[in-house]
Amino acid sequence: MEAQLKNDLVNVFKSKLSSQMLLNLDTCSRCGLCTEACHAYASIPLVKYAPAYRAEVVRRIYKRSFTAQGKFAPVMGEAKEITDAALMELKEAAFSCTGCRRCMVYCPFGIDTQQIMSIAKLLLVAAQAEPETLSMLADMSVSKGENIDAFKEGFLSGIKRLEDQMIQTWRDEAGEDPIPTDVVGADLLYVALAGAHSIIPSARIFNAAGEKWSLSFFEAVNFGAFVGDPTKTKLILDRIVNEAKRLRVKEVCICECGTAVRVAKQLKGAPFKVVSLTEVHARYIRQGRIRLKKLPGSYTYHDPCQIARNGGVYDEPRYILSHLVNDFREMSPDPKYNWCCGGGGGLVAMGDETLDFRMQSAKVKADQVRGSGADVVVTACENCHTQLSDLNKHYGLGKEVRFLSSLVADALLPEPQEARG
Amino acid sequence: MATLYYLILVPMVYLAVAVFVLGTIWRIGRLLAAPSAPPPPPIYPLRKPAWLFAVGDALLLPTVLRHNFRLWLALALFHLGLLALLLGHLELIAEFKILQVVPHGIFLGHGFVGLAVILCLIYFLCRRMVSPTKELSVPEDYLLLVLFLFTALFGAQMDWARTWYDYSSMGVDEYRAYLSSLIALKPNIEGVTSAGHSFMLVGHIFFANLLIMAFPFTKLMHAIFTFAMNKFRRG
Amino acid sequence: MSTMAFDKELDLRNLPCPMPVVKISKGIKEVAVGGVVKAVTTDPGALTDFPAWAKTSGNQILGTDEAGGEVSFFIKRMK
Ligand code: SF4
Ligand code: SF4
């Protein structure tokens, strides 16, 4: 590796050294308690998948460049320079970590391995060694934000086609403008994903609840966060923030996408509230704005890590399910300890490239799903849904994998007539 | 030999304390001086007051208790033992009324606390020799354990040696005289170098010095950082 | 426009996010430079994603074709 690049990388590393990051790097006692916490290690017992080992890959470089011990007695902590080989190790460590933060629940100190992996990701970006697919996606998202006027028309024509579909299928409830866009003064801005499955059921529910809403032009998912590039993460998020400000909405509702929920919920000081779709649906039920019929069958719920453990939305999905089904079975005795599906952190977004690893590293998840005994696995995250569907196929679980929102839409009862208008 | 004893018992002790104090201040200062970034989310569900739960997490290690009872037991015994020994050493400097609320002879525990600590250390060492903790471990981890072990061995044995072999020529009074002379900056090592088991005291202090100096440059800083870390997790 | 010639057809109907873009970016590499890929999608989001992707990846969208709730993109590999 050239001296110049090495130097640059050390500086990039330095830019990540906030006080909290220093604590994450300096506190680990290598007790190994977190080892069993990682689904990757629990499924493939290789030490390189142990959280603390992943962290050491980054920590070794940290010690060498930034600590007295690493400078004067590198052998003590196995401190290491950044080399091409080290970059390969960083890549393997960072992109086999889904950022679920289950390890953080086990650690006596609460060391955040995902944060440490964010250093690895940023170094890879700086060395242009990050997974191509993820940076391609991030660049696409950024470009969309920069050129929205050029792309708007295409989007609107796509939405028009969806509306036609909706009007055909649900003539009564669709109303005149089943998928409103660009509504200045709307109460709620709904940020969906590219697929129709993330728009149609939600639109039905918003309309049934009489919500004054508007669909965002942008997709919720933040590929910048997957690739670990804070600049792009911010640019991608800003597109939504600007749109929300322009439309003067009170609330930004993020669709069933864990990363998007987490990134948006971390916004500070915005003139609107950020909520997840699940929270909004629970509210509608609580306020009597939608009524649901019970669906047959047995159900279990997979808590998406970024929405539950890292976002605090535990009760709402269970509340919704209690109105939807009679036979609900918890997957894990304590949802805080739910196994990650194994698809987060950009792994699902990398598609078939990561399929093998995703299937092997999530064996414990497949076992957990099987053990629930339920026929239907419900979740509220696009990535989890894709990964669970892949697991279902790979391990022959014979389950049905459903989005919570689509179940709610299926169970919608027509509004009582007098409530209309 | 006398020179070596002197070097270990006087200049090295001062050096160790200086390194410890300055090093620790530097480490904490470095943290405070670092830019603050927007914190990642805590682990949900949250409990209030967060700081109280964070202190509880730091002191009681509930996550270890939940996932590895044997390790928790050893950690609890080890850290409580260290605490007791620390207090015991304070009493070697002077008599503290407040510590005598539970009346006890000095030295606290008659070496059994030391023995418990030694057993824990051996357990920790063994743990580090077995996969997967083995692969996670770096030389620092072993070195610290070995330093602790030697410090404790020489220290605990010293107390027994005194009672078993009737080494009455050096006891609490001599330790006190030595330590208070160090504190008064008028070092006097006469009382502690002439006894039959003086070499054990010197060994104890030698390893303790190394340990104290290592503190600010190793993971031992977790003793302080754990509070901040746990507070972040609790939100 | 439906008669436009193409070298490879990709079925990107009803895929989860972000597979349409991932698959098109992989698929385009399977034709020679100058070759054309036809991508069929049902995602409304693809209608903004594909142009944005084409712009950042330096490929060219020759045209689109709508039929029965589906949109086909004809994309020429430029490099
Ligand atoms: S965040 Fe999740 S995937 Fe990453 S190391 Fe921790 S447990 Fe493993
Ligand atoms: S549990 Fe925490 S302190 Fe122990 S090895 Fe893992 S990250 Fe380090």
ipTM: 0.92
Q: How far apart are CA B137 and CA C63, in angstroms?
A: 59
Distance CA A106, CA B61 (A): 10
Q: Would you state the pLDDT for residue A419?
A: 46
Task: Looking at the CA of B75, name the nearest ligand.
Answer: 2
Q: Distance, in angstroms, between A93 CA and closest chain B CA? A: 14
Task: Specify the fold of B2-29+48-234.
Answer: Fumarate Reductase Cytochrome B subunit (1.20.950)
Among residues A270, A240, A271, A272, which one has the least CA distance to residue A257? A240
Residue of A nearest to B125 (CA): A31
Q: What percent of chain B has pLDDT over 70?
A: 91
Q: Which backbone phi and psi does A378 adopt, to 5 degrees?
A: -105, 140
Query: What is the share, in percent, of chain C residues with pLDDT greater than 90?
Result: 59
Q: Is C27 a member of any domain? A: yes
A124-141 confidence digits (pLDDT tens):
999 999 999 999 999 999
Q: Closest Cα of chain A to B12: distance in Å?
A: 20
Return the best residue to mutate from A100, A117, A363, A364 for the ligand 1 pocket (most ligand atoms within 8 A of CB).
A100
Question: What tens digit of pLDDT does each residue of B93-142 get?
Answer: 777 777 777 666 666 666 788 899 999 999 999 999 999 999 999 999 99
Alpha-carbon distance A59 to A65, whole Å? 10
Compute CA distances B232 → A322, B60, B111, whole Å: 33, 17, 38
pLDDT score of C54 more than 50: yes
CB pair distance less than 8 Å for A161 and C44: yes
Written as one letter, the residue type at B91 is: E
**Cα(A410)–Cα(A404) distance, integer angstroms:** 10
Instruction: Give the best residue of B124, B219, B224 to mutate against chain A (max A CB count within 10 A).
Output: B219
**Is the distance from CB of A53 to CB of B136 less than 8 angstroms?**
yes
**Which residues, including other chains, have CB under 8 Å from residue A138's CB and lie 6 or more apart?**
A223, A224, A226, A227, A229, A232, A236
Query: In chain B, what residues touch A122 (CB-CB under 8 Å)?
Result: none
Confidence of residue C65 (pLDDT cuts 50, 70, 90): confident
Give me the pLDDT at residue A421, please.
Answer: 40
Chain center to CA of A278: 14
Q: Which residue among B43, B67, B228 places its CB closest to the CB of A23?
A: B228
- Neighbour-count burial of A147, counting CB atoms closer than 10 A to its CB (0-12 exposed, 13-18 middle, 19+ buried): middle
pLDDT at B220: 97
Measured in Å, residue A27 CA sits from the centre of ligand 2 at: 8
Distance CA B225, CA B30 (A): 13
Nearest CB to C49: which of A133, A140, A162?
A140
Which backbone phi and psi does C42 adopt, to 5 degrees? -115, -5
What is the overall mean pLDDT for chain B? Answer: 90
Question: Omega of the bond prior to A108 within 30 degrees of 0, cis?
Answer: no
CA-nearest of B133, C21, C7, B162 to A350 is C21
Domain range spanning residue C52? 8-76
At B226, phi and psi to the nearest 5? -55, -35
Q: Give the residues surrounding ligand 1 with Cβ less than 6 Å away.
A: A 37-38, 40, 51, 54, 97-103, 113-114, 340
| Mean pLDDT across A4-25 | 95
For B178, the token pair is 């030595």
For the segment A254-292, what is each residue's pLDDT rounded down to a tens digit?
999 999 999 999 998 899 999 999 999 999 999 999 999
Residue A27: what pLDDT? 97
Q: Which of A90, A86, A53, A66 is nearest to A10 (CA)?
A: A66
CA dist A328 and A335 (Å) reads 14
pLDDT at B50: 95
Count other Cβ atoms within 10 Å, centred on residue A333: 8
Measured between CA atoms, the residue of chain B closest to residue A55 is B136
Inspect the structure and tell me whether chains B and C have 3 or more CB pairs less than 8 Å apart. Answer: no
pLDDT tens by residue, A188-200:
999 999 888 999 9
pLDDT at B103: 66
- Which pLDDT band, with edges at 50, 70 and 90, does A417 fall under? very low
CA distance A257 to chain C (A): 10
**What is the rounded CA–CA span in Å between residue C18 and residue A348?**
9
Does residue B62 have a pLDDT over 80?
yes
Residue type present at position A328: F
User: What would the two tokens of residue A347 be?
Assistant: 């792994």
Residue C44 has what pLDDT? 83
Which pair of structure tokens corresponds to residue B117? 């600590």
Is-contact C20 C26, C-beta < 8 A?
A: no
The number of domains in chain C is 1
Rounded-to-integer distance, Cα A71 and Cα A64, Å: 6
The sign of the dihedral angle between the CA atoms of B51, A20, A362, A393 is positive
Rounded mean pLDDT of A157-175?
Answer: 79
Residue A418 has pLDDT above 50, yes or no: no
For the segment A357-405, what is each residue's pLDDT rounded down to a tens digit?
Answer: 999 999 999 999 999 999 999 999 999 999 999 999 999 999 999 999 9
Nearest C-alpha in A relative to B132: A47
Ligand 2: residue whose CA is nearest its atom 6: A34
- The reply to whether B225 touches chain A by the CB within 8 Å rule is yes
* Closest chain A C-alpha to B176 CA, distance in angstroms: 34
Q: Between the CA atoms of B164, B165, B170 and B172, what dihedral angle is there, to the nearest 10 degrees?
A: 0
> Tokens 């629940």 identify what position?
A105
Structural domains in chain A, CATH included, are 3-130 (1.10.1060), 135-286 (no CATH), 295-411 (3.40.50)
Task: Answer positive or negative: Cα dihedral of A144, A145, A146, A150.
Answer: positive
Closest CA relative to residue A179, chosen from A157, A197, A162:
A162
Domain CATH for C24 = 3.30.110.40
3-state secondary structure of A292: strand
Q: Identify whether C1 is part of a domain.
A: no
The ligand placed nearest to the CA atom of residue A305 is 1
Name the residue of chain A whose CA is nearest to C22's CA: A133
Rounded to the nearest angstrom, the distance between the alpha carbon of A81 and the centre of ligand 2 is 23
Mean pLDDT along residues B49-54 = 96
Domain positions in chain B are 2-29+48-234
Give the ligand at the shortest distance from the Cα of A365.
Answer: 1
B226, A262: Cβ pair inside 8 Å? no
pLDDT score at A103: 97
Q: Is the pLDDT of residue A165 over 90?
A: no
pLDDT at site A420: 44
| pLDDT tens profile A202-256 | 999 999 999 999 999 998 999 998 888 888 899 999 999 999 999 999 999 999 9
Of A151, A196, A386, the CB nearest to C51: A151
Residues ≥6 apart with Cβ < 8 Å to B133: A30, A31, A32, A35, B127
The C-alpha atoms of residue A136 and residue C55 are separated, in whole angstroms, by 11
Q: Closest-lying ligand to the alpha carbon of A97? A: 1
Which helix (H) or strand (E) is A400 found in, with range? Answer: strand A400-403
**Chain C touching partners, 3 or more CB pairs below 8 A:** A
Interface of B with A in 18-57 (CB under 8 A): 27, 30-32, 34-41, 43-46, 57
Does residue C3 fall inside a structural domain?
no
Cα dihedral A113, A116, A118, A120 sign:
negative
Residue B99 one-letter amino acid: L
Q: What is the pLDDT of residue B167?
A: 67
Note the pLDDT of residue A90.
Answer: 97
Give the model's pLDDT for residue A272.
Answer: 97
- Residue A186 CA, chain-centre distance (Å), reads 26
Q: Which residues have CB under 6 Å of ligand 2?
A: A 28-34, 51-52, 106-107, 109, 111
Mutational pocket test of ligand 1: of A96, A103, A336, the residue with most ligand atoms within 8 Å of the beta carbon? A103
Ligand 1 atom 5 nearest Cα: A51
Kind plus residue range of the DSSP H or E element containing C56: helix C46-57
A52: exposed, middle or buried (Cβ count in 10 Å: 0-12, 13-18, 19+): buried
Sign of CA dihedral C42, A232, A382, A176: negative
What is the rounded average pLDDT for all residues in chain A?
93
Q: pLDDT band for C3, please (50, 70, 90 cuts).
A: low
User: Can you tell me whether residue C72 is helix, strand or coil?
Assistant: strand
CA dihedral A361, A366, A368, A369 (to 10 degrees): 150
Position B175 scores a pLDDT of: 87
**Catalytic residue positions of C?**
17
Q: Which of C29, C56, C71 to mutate to test the interface with A (most CBs of A within 10 A)?
A: C56
**Pure H helices in A190-274:** 200-208, 223-227, 230-247, 258-265
- The residue of A140, A200, A350 whose CB has the most chain C CBs within 10 angstroms, and thus the best one to mutate to test that interface, is A140
| Closest partner CB to B38 (pick from A75, A262, A268) | A268
Mutate to test the interface with B, among A17, A24, A26 (most CBs of B within 10 A): A26
Helix, coil or strand: residue A344: coil
Q: Do A35 and B38 touch (CB under 8 A)?
A: no
For the CA atoms of A318, A323, A329, A331, the dihedral, rounded to the nearest 10 degrees, stands at -30
| Most confident by average pLDDT, A156-165, A358-367, C42-51 | A358-367
Closest CA of chain A from C56, distance in Å: 6
- Count other Cβ atoms within 10 Å, centred on residue A123: 26
How far is the C-alpha of B124 from the C-alpha of B74, rounded, in Å? 8
Chain B positions in Cβ-Cβ contact with residue A311 (cut-off 8 Å): 41, 44
**C19 part of a folded domain:** yes
* pLDDT tens-digit series, residues B166-200: 666 777 888 889 999 999 999 999 888 887 788 88
What are the DSSP calls for B75-129, one per residue?
A: HHHHHHHHHHHHHHHHHHHS--GGGGGS--PSSGGGGHHHHHHHHHHHHHHHHTT
Using the beta-carbon criterion (under 8 Å), do A33 and B67 form an inter-chain contact?
Answer: yes
Q: Which long-range contacts (CB under 8 A, 24 or more apart) does B62-67 make?
A: B63/A33, B63/A105, B63/A106, B63/A107, B63/A108, B64/A31, B64/A33, B64/A108, B67/A33, B67/A36, B67/A37, B67/A106
Cβ-based neighbours of A264, under 8 Å, separated by 6 or more: A191, A220, A237, A240, A252, A254, A274
